[in-house]
């Protein structure tokens, strides 16, 4: 009996050690690369990254009109619990004013906080992971020019086991792809720029794709639409199955103004997205349209019947 207990204890210790190793937070930049990110930084280019990345949509303080006051507080209510966007203003006490550029890079590219904890993927680092470190550097230069906002956002409201952050490490081993986006030979510069804006900074797939029970994007139905994460409607299919009849100009126009070819206008969270994309240069909106129009037709999940 004593030997059995000792064997079980050893297995438990080894298992716990293996779990702790597999779930360890992994940084994107450290050492010399981290130090190099503190050099330079173009705030003008950073504003473009800010708009392409949709930072204001989640982090602008609710209930006030200034999209550059990034005090956080927006709630995202999901099946896993309620996530709250944090303060990312330059406030030293309540925001990210004390962060180094490498801290922002590790947050966006790997979903790891400055103190080495996992961020929940409600923060779309699974897409930002494909972004260029120099774009993060420019974004930080721009964020440092914005007004400081006092007050910390409330904590997330999550029940166990979702409140156990360490477990996110296992989730990342399955769903976090950190492969950089490279220009694809044979494609135009416009298409490659559009792909980068859509698949890295713009994180369009985060909303426009169905998710499995673990909260990961269903790869085979990427961009094919699905239920809204908060259960407030249906996110449309933006592959050729959904927008095949649209022209490139139609897509670019929607990104600029929110108007569809059917003379309708987008609403809900997409209206916030258009406030961001509408601030981009026309060439970038055209590039996004070029890439989106190249997506092959993919059937999305079946839409539930409308209630009478």
Q: What's CA 281's distance to the chain center, in Å?
A: 21
Residue 1: predicted pLDDT: 67
Residue 306: predicted pLDDT: 66
Interatomic CA distance for residues 53 and 127, integer angstroms:
10
The mean predicted confidence, pLDDT, of the chain is 88
Q: CB neighbours of 267 closer than 8 A, spacing ≥ 6?
A: none
Structure-block tokens of residue 294: 């190249």
pLDDT in tens, 148-206: 999 999 888 888 877 778 888 988 998 999 999 999 999 999 999 999 999 999 989 98
pLDDT at 280 over 80: yes
Residue 231: predicted pLDDT: 64
Closest Cα to residue 131, out of 200, 76, 80?
A: 200
Interatomic CA distance for residues 293 and 239, integer angstroms:
7
pLDDT at 138 over 70: yes
Structure-block tokens of residue 125: 């680092």
Q: What is the mean pLDDT of residues 109-133?
A: 93
What is the pLDDT confidence band of residue 296, given thresholds at 50, 70 and 90? very high
pLDDT at 19 over 70: no
Structure-block tokens of residue 2: 């004593």
Higher pLDDT, 225 or 287: 287
Alpha-carbon distances of 187 from 176, 252, 290, rounded to whole Å: 26, 19, 11
Interatomic CA distance for residues 216 and 42, integer angstroms:
34
pLDDT at 49 over 60: yes
Pseudo-torsion of CA 278, 280, 283, 289, nearest 10°? -50
pLDDT in tens, 61-93: 998 889 899 999 988 888 888 999 999 999 999
pLDDT at 249 over 90: yes
CB 225 within 8 A of CB 237: yes
Q: Where are the domains of the chain?
A: 34-175, 189-292
Interatomic CA distance for residues 173 and 144, integer angstroms:
32
């Amino acid at each position: 009996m004593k030997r059995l207990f000792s064997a079980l204890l050893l297995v438990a210790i080894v298992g716990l050690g293996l779990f702790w190793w597999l779930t360890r937070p992994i940084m994107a930049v450290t050492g010399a690369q981290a130090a190099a990110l503190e050099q330079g930084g173009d705030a003008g280019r950073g504003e473009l990254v800010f708009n392409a990345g949709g930072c204001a949509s989640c982090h602008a303080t609710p209930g006030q009109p200034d999209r550059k006051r990034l005090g956080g507080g927006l709630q995202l209510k999901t099946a896993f619990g309620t996530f709250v966007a944090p303060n990312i203003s330059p406030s030293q006490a309540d925001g990210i004013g004390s962060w180094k550029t490498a801290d922002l890079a590790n947050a966006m590219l790997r979903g790891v906080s400055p103190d080495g904890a996992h961020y929940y993927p409600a923060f779309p680092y699974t897409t930002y992971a494909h972004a260029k470190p120099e774009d993060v550097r420019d974004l930080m230069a721009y964020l440092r020019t914005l007004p400081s906002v006092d007050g910390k956002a409330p904590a997330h409201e999550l029940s166990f086991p979702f409140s156990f952050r360490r477990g996110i490490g296992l989730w990342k081993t399955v769903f976090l792809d950190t492969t950089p986006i490279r220009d694809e030979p044979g494609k135009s510069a416009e298409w490659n720029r559009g792909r980068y804006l859509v698949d890295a900074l713009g994180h369009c797939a985060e909303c426009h794709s169905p998710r499995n029970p673990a909260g990961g994007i269903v790869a085979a139905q990427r961009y094919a639409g699905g239920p809204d994460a908060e259960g407030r409607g249906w996110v449309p299919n933006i592959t050729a199955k959904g927008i095949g009849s649209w022209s490139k100009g139609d897509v670019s126009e929607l990104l600029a103004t929110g108007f569809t070819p059917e003379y309708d206008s987008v609403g809900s969270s997409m209206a916030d997205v258009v406030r961001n994309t509408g601030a981009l240069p026309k060439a970038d909106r055209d590039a996004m349209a070029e890439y989106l129009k190249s997506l092959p037709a993919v059937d999305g999940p079946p839409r539930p019947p409308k209630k009478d």
